[in-house]
Amino acid sequence: MYWAKAIAEQIIQRNPHKEEYVCAAGISPSGSIHIGNFRDVATSFFVAKALREQGKKARLLFSWDEYDRLRRVPVNVAKIAPQLEQYIGCPYVDVPNPFDDGAKNYARHFEQEFEQAITAFGIELDYRYQADMHRQGCYGQYMIQALKERGRIFDILSGFRTQEPKAGEREAYYPVSIYCPSCGKDTTGISWLSEDCRQATYTCNCGHSGTIDFSKDFYCKLSWKVDWAMRWRYEGVDFEPGGKDHASPSGSYQTSKIISKEIFGYDAPLFTGYEFIGIKGATGKMSGSSGLNLTPQTLLKLYQPEVILWLYAKTDPLKAFDFCFDEGILRQYFEFDKQYLEFLNNTPNEFTHTVMENCLIEGRQIEPVPMGLLVQLGSIVDFNIEMLETVFAKIGQPYTHAQFKDRLERARYWLSQCSPQSVNRLRSKRNWPVYESLDEAGRKEISLLHAYLAQGGYSLDELQTALYAIVQQANVETLDIKAQKARQGIFFRNVYQLLLDKEQGPRLYLFLYAIEKSQYLDLLDFSTPPTEDELAVKPPSAQLEPAQKTKEYGPPDTVAPIKDQIDLEYFNQLDLRVCRVVKCAEIRKSHSNLKLTLFDGLGEREIVSSIKGEYEPQELIGKKIIVLTNLRPTRLTGVNSHGMLLAGTNNACGCQVIFVDDIVPEGTQIK
């Protein structure tokens, strides 16, 4: 059953006749709200939807915990407003707004930022601003109730602690903190409490002391676990998710659950502790991003809101998933489009159907223009809209600007911020050093290509065929299929180098067909001698391009004879499994080895592998590989290696690791 539906059914079962169910979420506006916290909203949102699908009324309550105390100033805020340090201990809502956006206070700034992002998702929230709730006196009677029950509350709390309470601790405990009317901070201590718990005297660290009447003075707040339970009771909450740290047996939820029942006589809502969100492939300008500082706003620059919701909707809250800054994002769009088209064609399975219904946003039309293609073609024509429409038409997929508009900016942003190495730029001059390094057949291929293109009059299909024919034509001696394939690859690489200064590029026939021929034809014409301009270009400039691997390899090894036969039983003893590379680092003083930290499906392990000559550590992170995991550990260059990765080693290619498609889960056995 779909996870949100299962939760909805439990909610109904607990309380079948309730008129309206309340799904809650809540966040402190302590800084920018990140996408990890967004799971609070998303989880409750899907559960509320599932309740409505069952014919029930459901409300999605969102609590801004803005009456909580400022604990610390976030690093990025402290940089522009170090003076905020002095407000530590004040409620967020009383801290001045250091940003120039007109928000009336610190809390409001971050609240607005998040509320604006939320509207993009079409999620309607019933906001509760906790400072207003407190100051209007909504919770006054509960303060008095909690104070009356303070001994029992203390016992519940200390039941979760490992340490025995000290003498007098119980008597000195008050589950209420008072914000000092003089300095605004919660650095106060209660010195006397009336028998009926309505009045108290207190002293603040600032020197101020006074009397508070809890029935009419509302500058006070219950301590966290009591406050949470009290608000469940106040709002009649039926469901609330929370980070998995709250879900542990000694976590906040378990404590608040007992307080809710025993002190406020209310059965705690159902609770789901969700997993955190990961970020994959954050390099370059995105490095340093994690689920902890990535806001929905930033994510919306890369992902359409539907795709974000889809990721949350299709993943059980108990499971983690990643937002991808690398090419993984293109796969996610691809997968989304596939399911979306199934949905449109009425062919999805029940799960896909529910997920799609959950993530489509009213009033917005999704056009499944392939993101990968948009990136590829966009990079070819530098995101010129008119050219893009022309190219799409030429390749028989005539998408219009209206259709690809919503994804275009995201494609461009991804390419420039996350994958700048994929941007294609035509050279301005012929690349003589590369041309001169070509053998005779190589030069002939370029000349044939130039002649073919110059003549024109070809269709896209014809051009594609011609690219293969040229290689055959240029190589006089008959090549076997394998040699011809290799030759073909070299030809494409030569053209990319001559046009783009890259060894790889977009599909060549598409590229040559899509861009204006006059922009590149001259780059393939070496019939005239180099100009002075071209001679002035120093050859090393091309080599300054980073991360282009141009390793020279030798001829292939002699193919080894097949080894002696073994029984299947023997093979089955090998524990070969798919592992994900979590970390990868160089080992000091080792010329050939890298240290890889792997997730093998059960836990993490370290292995050492002599692949330093072939890979940069960051190339491997996030990749899935095959590892012999039950190999007896050995010590290599000072590091214990718990397994061996599979790779193909040959003089013709060096040591090439065998990668596994991302779809295969970690821990999958190879058999």
In the bound complex, what is the minimum distance in angstroms from residue 315's beta carbon to Zn ion?
A: 46
In the bound complex, what is the minimum distance in angstroms from residue 203's beta carbon to Zn ion?
A: 9
| Strand, coil or helix: 458 | coil
Location of structure tokens 């073909």: 488
Q: Compare residues 184 and 654 and give the one whose CB is closer to Zn ion.
A: 184
Q: Which residues bind Zn ion (CB under 5 A)?
A: 180, 182-183, 204, 206, 208
Residue-by-residue DSSP string for 311-375: HHHHS-TTS-EEEESSTHHHHHHHHHHHHHHHHHTT---HHHHHHHHHH--TT-------HHHHH
Please give the biggest Cα pair distance in the chain: 106
Distances (CA, A) of 616 to 407, 554, 612, 620, 638: 32, 21, 7, 7, 20
Closest C-alpha among 180, 199, 262 to residue 225: 262
In the bound complex, what is the minimum distance in angstroms from residue 271's beta carbon to Zn ion?
A: 36
Q: Compare residues 203 and 473 and give the one whose CB is closer to Zn ion.
A: 203
In the bound complex, what is the minimum distance in angstroms from residue 130's beta carbon to Zn ion?
A: 21
> CA-to-CA distance for 513 and 267, rounded, in angstroms?
67
In the bound complex, what is the minimum distance in angstroms from residue 218's beta carbon to Zn ion?
A: 17
| Burial category of 387 from C-beta neighbours within 10 Å (exposed 0-12, middle 13-18, buried 19 and up) | middle
Distances (CA, A) of 610 to 413, 582, 593, 636, 640: 37, 18, 4, 10, 14
In the bound complex, what is the minimum distance in angstroms from residue 287's beta carbon to Zn ion?
A: 43
Tell me how crowded residue 97 is: count the other CB atoms within 10 A of its CB.
18
Q: Compare residues 183 and 542 and give the one whose CB is closer to Zn ion.
A: 183
Q: Compare residues 187 and 376 and give the one whose CB is closer to Zn ion.
A: 187
Distances (CA, A) of 570 to 115, 573, 668: 60, 5, 19
In the bound complex, what is the minimum distance in angstroms from residue 90's beta carbon to Zn ion?
A: 10
In three state form, how does the secondary structure of 308-326 look? HHHHHHHCCCCCCEEEECC
Q: Compare residues 204 and 308 and give the one whose CB is closer to Zn ion.
A: 204
Instruction: For residue 523, give the DSSP letter.
Output: G
In the bound complex, what is the minimum distance in angstroms from residue 208's beta carbon to Zn ion?
A: 4
- Ramachandran area for residue 399 (φ above 0: left; ψ -120 to 50: alpha; else beta): beta
- Ramachandran area for residue 470 (φ above 0: left; ψ -120 to 50: alpha; else beta): alpha
Q: Compare residues 178 and 434 and give the one whose CB is closer to Zn ion.
A: 178
> CA-to-CA distance for 37 and 34, rounded, in angstroms?
6
In the bound complex, what is the minimum distance in angstroms from residue 174's beta carbon to Zn ion?
A: 17
Q: Compare residues 89 and 241 and give the one whose CB is closer to Zn ion.
A: 89
Torsion angle of alpha carbons 332, 335, 337, 338, nearest 10°?
A: 180
In DSSP terms, which residues pair with 189 in a beta bridge?
Answer: 203
Cβ(385)–Cβ(401) below 8 Å = yes
> CA-to-CA distance for 42 and 310, rounded, in angstroms?
10
Instruction: For residue 69, give the DSSP letter.
Output: B
Q: Which two tokens stand for residue 275?
A: 């997993």
In the bound complex, what is the minimum distance in angstroms from residue 206's beta carbon to Zn ion?
A: 3
In the bound complex, what is the minimum distance in angstroms from residue 212's beta carbon to Zn ion?
A: 13
Q: Compare residues 27 and 180 and give the one whose CB is closer to Zn ion.
A: 180
Closest C-alpha among 624, 641, 621, 628 to residue 670: 628
In the bound complex, what is the minimum distance in angstroms from residue 201's beta carbon to Zn ion?
A: 14
> CA 473, 479, 482, 483 torsion: positive or negative?
negative
Q: Compare residues 217 and 335 and give the one whose CB is closer to Zn ion.
A: 217
Q: Compare residues 221 and 642 and give the one whose CB is closer to Zn ion.
A: 221
Q: Compare residues 88 and 103 and give the one whose CB is closer to Zn ion.
A: 88
In the bound complex, what is the minimum distance in angstroms from residue 223's beta carbon to Zn ion?
A: 19
Q: Compare residues 202 and 496 and give the one whose CB is closer to Zn ion.
A: 202
Q: Which two tokens stand for residue 171?
A: 């008597």
In the bound complex, what is the minimum distance in angstroms from residue 226's beta carbon to Zn ion?
A: 23
Q: Compare residues 182 and 459 and give the one whose CB is closer to Zn ion.
A: 182
- Say which residues have a Cβ less than 8 Å from residue 517's Cβ, sequence separation at least 6: 453, 456
Q: Compare residues 180 and 369 and give the one whose CB is closer to Zn ion.
A: 180
Packing angle, helices 305-314 and 35-53, rounded to 10 = 70
